Structure 1
Amino acid sequence: MSSRQTFRALRSATAVNTVLIAAAASAVFVGSYGLFGGETTTKTHGAAAASSSAEVAAELAPFTTADAGSCLNWDIDAQGKVSNFSQTDCSTEHRFEVAAREDLSVYPTSEFGENAQMPNQERQAQLREELCHGATLAYVDGRFDPAGKFSIAPILPPAEAWAQGDRTMLCGLQTTDEKGVAQPFSGRVVEVDQANIAEPGACRAIGDDQVLRTVDCAEPHQLETVSIVDLSQQFPQGTPSIDDQNKFLSERCTQAVEDYLGGEEALYQSTLQPYWGSLAESSWNGGSRSVNCSLMHVNRQTKTFSAITGSAKNGRESLTIDGATPAAPPTRNPLRNP
């Protein structure tokens, strides 16, 4: 069996892990609600808005005038304090695209009345499902990949504005890092690739909560990213089947990991194998087009990912696999001319 046939067999043996990766990707952004609500408000946007009436008015204007189609941006310092909240052109970097504007004062109970406290994180999560989810899907005309990098989230006004009676809630789309901090992106969500991918050289770990996170390669991880592949270039006519994606990516990703490590022999000596993602029809229809090629190791007993520490770029001697230094692979017979 050739090395590439071997890698295809390994891919088949570990295909069950694709389900794990998909579940992890869809869970990454759960929990990033209420950027300016509850406790977060006091520490960030609310703190920035509380100094004077004039400053409050200036800070509130971009929030109170935002509506569906508006794009919002703000700065975040090392302590998590938010400042310079503003509306901006969606073609430039921003952190939030507004899909709908909700007035909680007309909510069919007295829950958000004159003296009501801001909803806590749990209640904001419920409001996301009750008020934001459907409105946001309608805004993007259903073009949303639930396993992609964007998440649906609400943001509330600063604490100072809430205390003065503002019950506006903005529903929209954002992409966050592994800590739940909204990250800048450019372009409208329906116009960009929604795939949840990592940059080459990034190491990614699957935690006990089944969330896929980018970590330092010196920490235990399951995948080391080597490249990004835009599948729309190979499949411009429509959604490719998983089999067609695998056939294409088997060659593309094997070549990518060889290039990343410095050749086929370097890959063999690493004891690692190529791995790639694939896009379900729902993700493709939702707007995702790219996948990662990565390096991984299979635990032969459990048939799941091994835990790797170190970067494969530094050679087998710099790695541990499931806590042990990987043994040298068997010596191969010299290649012979046909």
Structure 2
Amino acid sequence: MAEPPEPDQRSEPTRSPKRSRNDTTSTRLVMISAVLGALLVFTVAAALNWPSEESAQPGLGERPTTTSPPPEFEAPPGTCLNWTEPDATDIREVNCSEPHLFEMTGKSEVWARFGPDAPFPDTEVFNELKTRRCTDVAREYLDGRLDPEGRFEASAFLPSEESWERGDRTLHCALQQPGPAGKLYRFTGKVAELDQSDVYEVGTCLGISGSAVSSLVDCSRPHSVEITGVVDLGEEFSGQHPGTEQQDEYLIDACRQRLEDFAGSADAAENKDLTLYWDNIGQPSWQAGSRRVNCKVAATLGEDEGFAPVTGSVRGEVSISEEPAPTTPPSPGVPATRTR
């Protein structure tokens, strides 16, 4: 049974002939911070029409973004970045073994679509660019192992209006880990070495906005979903991708067992007017190496209608509100204060 759908930033520094390693790092951070000060980090994808570039002049996409070199952006593929302020003014490069928000994956040029006189794109167009172009960059960076429905998503540092006017048409692409309402959650390690399965730890509760899933909250607060288990489908299925029906036949018992382990009874959800359900893994995710899914409980409002607010954990007393939860705006790009 699939989960109900969710409605769900350059200034050129003065360079001395010689610099120490610390000086180099400092300069890099100044440049990155300058970029972020002028840019937006978009996390909400826009579904827009994509003009064909097949008719573009051959080689046009390889044309330099400007007749004179733009100020450099020193964050090569594999660089990991972290910040705590919503506007990323404290951005810094960190070792990828430390918690971080961005892992740089490469660049994408968009000259073929935007000529020298093109106006600065709006947010929706930049979201489209980020999603389409940087997803391709991320897929290449990961040698094809990008789970399109996994916990990591392509994003980008985008040209500022000033650099755009100078001819900059470069997207600096990265991978990030957003939550349901757009907040960014830190991760540790390189994405290539991590499980991309879109799962949460057992006992996690996801907030509620209206009838939709929102950011992670304590289970003592109104929420939409509580995670009651994690199942590794790789323990049951090997080789080819198992169809949804095969997964469901296995998961109905596996998730009941996880619920019993978590709440003390396989009937704990039913006894409290909650629904036990689970995620499925699609073929592209399976091919990318994802195998784990979540078992969940929630007060569902019917097919495709979302959730009712639940307060309390299925492990104890719960209350289900008959009134819809207040609708809260998403927080795209804002660092979360807790881990995912």
Choose the corresponding residue for 1:276, options 259, 275, 278. 278
Paired AA for residue 198 in structure 1: Y
SS of corresponding position for 2:271? helix
SS of corresponding position for 2:280? coil
Moved more, 229-238 or 263-272: 263-272
Aligned residue number for residue 104 of structure 2: 98
Any conservation in 2 of the 1:270–1:315 contact (CA below 8 Å)?
no
Aligned residue number for residue 309 of structure 1: 310
2:301 aligned with 1:292: no
> Closer, same or farther in 2 for the Cα pair 1:239/1:92, shift >3 Å?
farther
> Closer, same or farther in 2 for the Cα pair 1:59/1:53, shift >3 Å?
farther
Structure 1's unaligned 5+ residue stretches are 1-14, 29-35, 37-45, 325-338
Choose the corresponding residue for 1:76, options 54, 77, 84. 84
2:320 aligned with 1:320: yes
Aligned residue number for residue 31 of structure 1: none
1:1-338 maps to which residues of 2 (within 5 A)?
Answer: 15=1, 18=2, 20-21=4-5, 24=6, 36=9, 57-60=27-30, 64-67=73-76, 69-77=77-85, 80-86=87-93, 88=95, 90-102=96-108, 109-111=115-117, 119-129=121-131, 131-156=133-158, 168-204=170-206, 207=209, 213-217=215-219, 220-264=222-266, 266-267=268-269, 269-299=271-301, 306-313=307-314, 315-316=316-317, 318-323=318-323
Tell me how far apart the structure 2 counterparts of residues 204 and 101 of structure 1 sit (CA, whole Å).
34
SS of corresponding position for 1:76? coil
> Closer, same or farther in 2 for the Cα pair 1:232/1:130, shift >3 Å?
closer
> Closer, same or farther in 2 for the Cα pair 1:187/1:270, shift >3 Å?
same
Deviations 1:262-287 (A, max 9, x none): 23465553233421111111221233
> Closer, same or farther in 2 for the Cα pair 1:322/1:208, shift >3 Å?
closer
Any conservation in 1 of the 2:29–2:91 contact (CA below 8 Å)?
yes
Structure 2's unaligned 5+ residue stretches are 16-22, 33-71, 325-340
CA RMSD of aligned residues (A): 4.0
Tell me how far apart the structure 2 counterparts of residues 158 and 234 of structure 1 sit (CA, whole Å).
50
Aligned residue number for residue 44 of structure 2: none
Tell me how far apart the structure 1 counterparts of residues 323 and 277 of structure 2 sit (CA, whole Å).
21
Q: CA deviation at 1:61?
A: 5.6
SS of corresponding position for 1:227? strand
Tell me how far apart the structure 2 counterparts of residues 294 and 146 of structure 1 sit (CA, whole Å).
21
Tell me how far apart the structure 2 counterparts of residues 303 and 105 of structure 1 sit (CA, whole Å).
41
Q: CA deviation at 1:225?
A: 1.0
Tell me how far apart the structure 2 counterparts of residues 106 and 265 of structure 1 sit (CA, whole Å).
58
Aligned residue number for residue 66 of structure 2: none
SS of corresponding position for 1:73? strand
SS of corresponding position for 1:204? strand
Tell me how far apart the structure 1 counterparts of residues 242 and 297 of structure 2 sit (CA, whole Å).
23
> Closer, same or farther in 2 for the Cα pair 1:289/1:217, shift >3 Å?
same
> Closer, same or farther in 2 for the Cα pair 1:303/1:150, shift >3 Å?
closer
Identity of aligned residues (%): 26
> Closer, same or farther in 2 for the Cα pair 1:106/1:323, shift >3 Å?
closer
SS of corresponding position for 1:245? helix
Which structure carries more helix by proportion?
A: 1
Tell me how far apart the structure 2 counterparts of residues 130 and 249 of structure 1 sit (CA, whole Å).
33
Paired AA for residue 282 in structure 2: A
SS of corresponding position for 1:291? strand
Deviations 1:21-70 (A, max 9, x none): 4xx3xx76xxxxxxx2xxxxxxxxx8xx99x9799834246672333x32
Aligned length: 276
Deviations 1:204-253 (A, max 9, x none): 35656966643454555442111222222332434222223222221221
The two structures have a TM-score, normalised by structure 2, of 0.64
Q: CA deviation at 1:146?
A: 2.0
Tell me how far apart the structure 2 counterparts of residues 104 and 236 of structure 1 sit (CA, whole Å).
41
> Closer, same or farther in 2 for the Cα pair 1:241/1:59, shift >3 Å?
same
> Closer, same or farther in 2 for the Cα pair 1:247/1:120, shift >3 Å?
same
Tell me how far apart the structure 1 counterparts of residues 220 and 323 of structure 2 sit (CA, whole Å).
12
Tell me how far apart the structure 2 counterparts of residues 319 and 128 of structure 1 sit (CA, whole Å).
41
The two structures have a TM-score, normalised by structure 1, of 0.64
